[in-house]
Structure 1
Amino acid sequence: MSDSVAPIRVLVADDQRVTREGLMLLVGLNEGMEVVAGASDGAEAVALSQEHRPDVVLMDLAMPGTDGLTATRTLREIAPGTAVLVLTTYADDASVFPALRAGAKGYLTKDAGADEIERAIRAVHGGRIWMDPVVQERLVAAVTSGLPPQSETVPDSAPSTSPITTPEPSRPVRDVPAPLPERLTAREAEVLALIGQGLSNAEIGERLYLSRATIKTHINRIFAKTGVRDRAQAVRYAHRNRLVD
């Protein structure tokens, strides 16, 4: 990369300090990127954006005080040259569509890998749109149906963004307790149990004969229902509720 090319200036907004500082470190390791500030809520994200003029704001949605949605809307008005890339726990209709209407140029969930976060930052900085595969599915469903997709109607055979073999009928991992905690479905309990065993999304998909996009959909629903915010909390939740032996 030429030394004359200015780095992409990134601001990270997340109320959880460990998550925020981890993301700042991760983003700063990428060639051609510079982290200019970290914000603990939406109001601070707006204030620091006015001060540092970042190219991209990596924005959590669920923050106390001024949330990420309000901050995104404000930045669209006062800093139209700053691209907001949402990085949040949930990919349900109540989160995705308001964020896009507020002006977000990209939307990722927090199980995104470092490479995907890097690609997304570069994409929105370059004027392109970047969406998590689950969000893409919801947008396609909204366009084809004329209505936002319902959170409980995505079938187990939902299409993946990458080619996969035709799935065979899924098989249960183990017996799950009844009644299930937090209104989890039997499939969600199976996925959560496998998370509790330390399996990756790809490994869970192979075990249940489901696409990775479908696994991500189930994980987003699990996070929304149980209130966990990351994979580590999901593992603890699965053990606490005896979904894992």
Structure 2
Amino acid sequence: MKILVAEDDFASRNFLQFFLRKFGEVDIAVNGVEAIEVFRDAIEQGEPYHVVFMDIMMPGKDGLEAAREIREIERGFKVPPAGESRIIMATALSDVKTVFKAFNKSEATDYIVKPFTVEAMTAKLRELGIINE
């Protein structure tokens, strides 16, 4: 499995990288602009990401905008809905308005609230059928 983590917070990025590496190859982007570039490169090389963890609040280009652009890239490459990357938005904000925006404006698959825990991450990955353990 190929995973992209787009997270500007060093501690969160390290946690995700360490936790997710047992499930596959993990690449890192530190902002939305970099995430889009890395995603585009991967899909152009025929090695798309299966899962993208995207922080909502990042400098330069926020996660909502970056996720929207990732969906546009997938449409441009004629990726069928069943083959789309699963985009999981990460947020420290658990308010309904932020979550609503994440789903409606970015076409995200799901979301998870920070701070991350092993238990919450494992449950989310199971819930989405990404892992079976």
Q: Normalization by structure 1: what TM-score?
A: 0.44
Aligned residue number for residue 36 of structure 2: 46
What do residues 64-116 of structure 1 show as CA deviations (whole Å, max 9, x unaligned)? Answer: 00000001111122125111001210111331111001211111101342132
Aligned residue number for residue 6 of structure 2: 13
What do residues 104-147 of structure 1 show as CA deviations (whole Å, max 9, x unaligned)? Answer: 11111013421321332354465xxxxxxxxxxxxxxxxxxxxx
Aligned residue number for residue 57 of structure 1: 52
Aligned residue number for residue 92 of structure 2: 89
Secondary structure at the aligned position of 1:18 is classed as helix
Structure 1 vs Structure 2: percent identity of aligned residues? 30
Q: Structure 1, unaligned stretches of length 5 or more?
A: 1-7, 127-245
**Kept in 2: contact 1:83–1:125 (CA 8 A):** no
Greater relative CO, 1 or 2 (CA 8 Å, sep 6+): 2
d(CA) in 2 for partners of 1:125, 1:66 = 29
The structure with more strand, counted as a fraction of residues: 2
Equivalent position amino acid for 1:110 in 2: K
Equivalent position amino acid for 1:36 in 2: V
The correspondence for 2:103, drawn from 100, 108, 131, is 100
**Kept in 2: contact 1:36–1:54 (CA 8 A):** no
Secondary structure at the aligned position of 2:24 is classed as strand
What do residues 170-225 of structure 1 show as CA deviations (whole Å, max 9, x unaligned)? Answer: xxxxxxxxxxxxxxxxxxxxxxxxxxxxxxxxxxxxxxxxxxxxxxxxxxxxxxxx
Map 1:1-245 → 2, pairs under 5 A: 8-29=1-22, 33-52=23-42, 53-79=48-74, 81-101=84-104, 102-124=106-128
Tell me by how many angstroms 1:48 deviates: 0.9
d(CA) in 2 for partners of 1:123, 1:46 = 26
For the pair shown, which has the larger CA radius of gyration, 1 or 2? 1
d(CA) in 2 for partners of 1:107, 1:93 = 12
Equivalent position amino acid for 1:70 in 2: E
Secondary structure at the aligned position of 1:57 is classed as strand
**Kept in 1: contact 2:20–2:26 (CA 8 A):** no
Equivalent position amino acid for 1:26 in 2: F
d(CA) in 2 for partners of 1:42, 1:68 = 6
**Kept in 2: contact 1:10–1:55 (CA 8 A):** yes
Tell me by how many angstroms 1:10 deviates: 1.0
With over 3 angstroms needed to count, the CA separation of the structure-2 counterparts of 1:10 and 1:122, relative to structure 1, is farther
With over 3 angstroms needed to count, the CA separation of the structure-2 counterparts of 1:125 and 1:83, relative to structure 1, is farther
Aligned residue number for residue 212 of structure 1: none
Cα RMSD (Å): 1.8
Tell me by how many angstroms 1:49 deviates: 1.3
Q: Normalization by structure 2: what TM-score?
A: 0.77
